[in-house]
Amino acid sequence: MKVKLAQLIAGWLHQPLPETFNVDISDLFIDSRAVIPNSVFIAIVGATSDGRDYIQKALCQGAAVVLSQVDDKAQHGQIERRDGAVIIHFYGLKEALATLAQRCYRQLPRHIIGVTGTNGKSTVTHLLASLAELNHIPAAVMGTLGQGRPGELHGALNTTADIFSVYRILNQFALSGIELVAMEVSSHGLVQGRVAGVPFTGAVFTNLTRDHLDYHHTMQAYGEAKAQLMAMTTRGVQIINADDAFGQQLLERYPNAKSYALECQADWQASVIAMTESGCQIRVHHHDQQWPIEVPLLGQFNVSNLLAAIACLDELGLVSDASLGDCLALKAVPGRMELFCGRTQVVVDYAHTPDALAKALQGVRSHCSGKLICIFGCGGDRDRGKRPLMAQAAENYADQVIVTNDNPRSEDPSLIADDICQGFEHRQSVSIILDRRSAIQAALAQAQKQDMILVAGKGHEDYQIIGQQRLAYDERAVVAQLLAEASC
């Protein structure tokens, strides 16, 4: 799909664009490394770099047009030719990004559902798309795990991509017949305008717990960043977790929103009937109706995630009550409370905040008849304040703890471990084994058949960052291999 340059920038120049400059445009890019022929490079000043320094690189890669940020209003609209490309100087360029994206990528899926919150985003988006597909609605996800239809994801580096990548992917989905997209929306993405103007038809808020304070500095600022998604969807369906304290504040702000909860009174409620070795039997309540459902998901918090997805799709009119029995066909999200069975059961989860770790351990405990062993670490160059809090969560809910590496980055791994250990009151049940593979091997060596092991922090990731190196490390594959070796 192409658009004329004059259409892309209509209404912004002081005079008509000369026809010789009115080229066909196929794509917009904010990253010069991604530029392709016949595309537009948007050169803006970012938080860490100035895009104008990369104009020549973009031209070398085939950019047909460059829109370059200027700080002097008098320079706005000046046009020059360079290496066969059109360069337009643009005052207020940052404020125009959403409109540019909308004009370039005009066809979007009918339903776009944003999911925000500290924990649960990946699971809720995956469940939304999976349930939609079970109801014959072509659906896809965008987020930490990548983008694509459930089970067919392509990798992604950021939870929320840059604004043009977001629109481009949505446009590609629409052109391929996707009718519903469930998108993880991070606090960074909201604050930095990466989803500005996206026509969300639904929004889900899962929870707010400590994370990213190295960026937001205070929990209040972090919460307000998340709240921006609700402000963007006042004309759509809003689904908010009433069991969360900040969720209660949002429900007061947005009285038309629908609530869901396991503990509080809410529009949508669920109760756990039984925990099995491989899932949960629950009952969903909505008004005067109720439905028994069996799901192959571990942990009570995953019941909450499922309830959020069911409520959102129902309020959008996309699922029928009778279809809820299809939940048995759902699969665990890769690296999210994912169960690996062998001589001992091992659960791989992405939990990397104190609250997420506590809930993951509580979730595994409800399925465990023996000892619970927890393996976790903390990332380097990130919020140091949560490290002892992670230790407290592990000590409160696990019988034995092994502290290991996460992504130490530029920090000394042993010093990160020391920070973590400040949170333990009793060290006799704690070991430090910095190599993750060795830590898992040690846990398997001591575990009995009825015990369970939670390996937290890496989840779906297939790498580990140590120093300046990004090393190949797929925890799911490592666990599967070590369990197979232990069973031989």
Residues 251 and 315 in one domain: yes
Q: List the one residue out of 317, 346, 325, 334 whose CA is nearest residue 453.
A: 346
Q: List the one residue out of 391, 379, 471 whose CA is nearest residue 416.
A: 379
Residues 399 and 440 in one domain: yes
Residues 426 and 296 in one domain: no
Q: How far, in Å, are 131, 180, 204 from residue 199 at the CA level? A: 21, 12, 14
CA terminus-to-terminus distance, the chain? 55
Domain end residue (candidates: 76, 103, 130): 103
pLDDT of 210 reads 59
Domain end residue (candidates: 49, 70, 103): 103
Supply φ then ψ for residue 328, to 5 degrees. -65, -25
Torsion sign (Cα): 9, 12, 14, 16: positive
Residues 409 and 365 in one domain: yes
pLDDT of 334 reads 87
The Cβ-side half-sphere exposure at 136, using a 13 Å CA radius, reads 2
Domain end residue (candidates: 329, 352, 384): 329
pLDDT of 193 reads 82
Residues 81 and 167 in one domain: no
Pairing status of strand 400-403 against strand 372-376: parallel
Q: List the one residue out of 23, 39, 22, 41 whose CA is nearest residue 31.
A: 41
Q: List the one residue out of 4, 83, 99 whose CA is nearest residue 42.
A: 99
Binding residue positions: 32, 117-123, 158-160, 186, 192, 194, 382, 406-409, 457, 461
pLDDT of 27 reads 96
- Angle, CA of 336, 353 and 438, to the nearest 5°: 65
Residues 137 and 276 in one domain: yes
Residues 87 and 164 in one domain: no
- CA 297 to CA 302: how far, in whole Å? 6
Q: How many structural domains comprise the chain?
A: 3
Residues 67 and 118 in one domain: no
- CA 133 to CA 296: how far, in whole Å? 17
Tell me if 30 sits within 8 A of 42, measured CB to CB: yes
- Give me the long-range contacts of 171-174 (CB less than 8 A, separation at least 24): 171/1, 171/105, 171/106, 171/107, 171/108, 173/109, 173/140, 174/107, 174/108, 174/109
- CA 68 to CA 79: how far, in whole Å? 10
Instruction: State which amino acid sits at residue 232.
Output: M
pLDDT of 269 reads 96
Binding residue positions for meso-2,6-diaminopimelate: 382, 406-409, 457, 461
Residues 460 and 320 in one domain: no
CATH of the domain at 49: 3.40.1390.10
pLDDT of 70 reads 96
pTM: 0.84
Q: List the one residue out of 272, 326, 258, 322 whose CA is nearest residue 302.
A: 272
Residues 171 and 261 in one domain: yes
Residues 84 and 123 in one domain: no
Binding residue positions for ATP: 117-123
CATH of the domain at 274: 3.40.1190.10
CATH of the domain at 421: 3.90.190.20
pLDDT of 482 reads 96
Residues 306 and 348 in one domain: no
Mean pLDDT in order along the chain per 10 residues (488 residues):
92 90 94 95 91 96 96 94 94 96 96 94 94 94 91 72 93 97 90 91 90 64 85 93 95 96 96 86 91 90 94 91 70 89 94 91 93 97 94 97 97 98 94 98 95 96 95 97 87
Q: List the domain range (segments joined by +) for residue 430.
A: 338-487
pLDDT of 333 reads 85
pLDDT of 14 reads 85
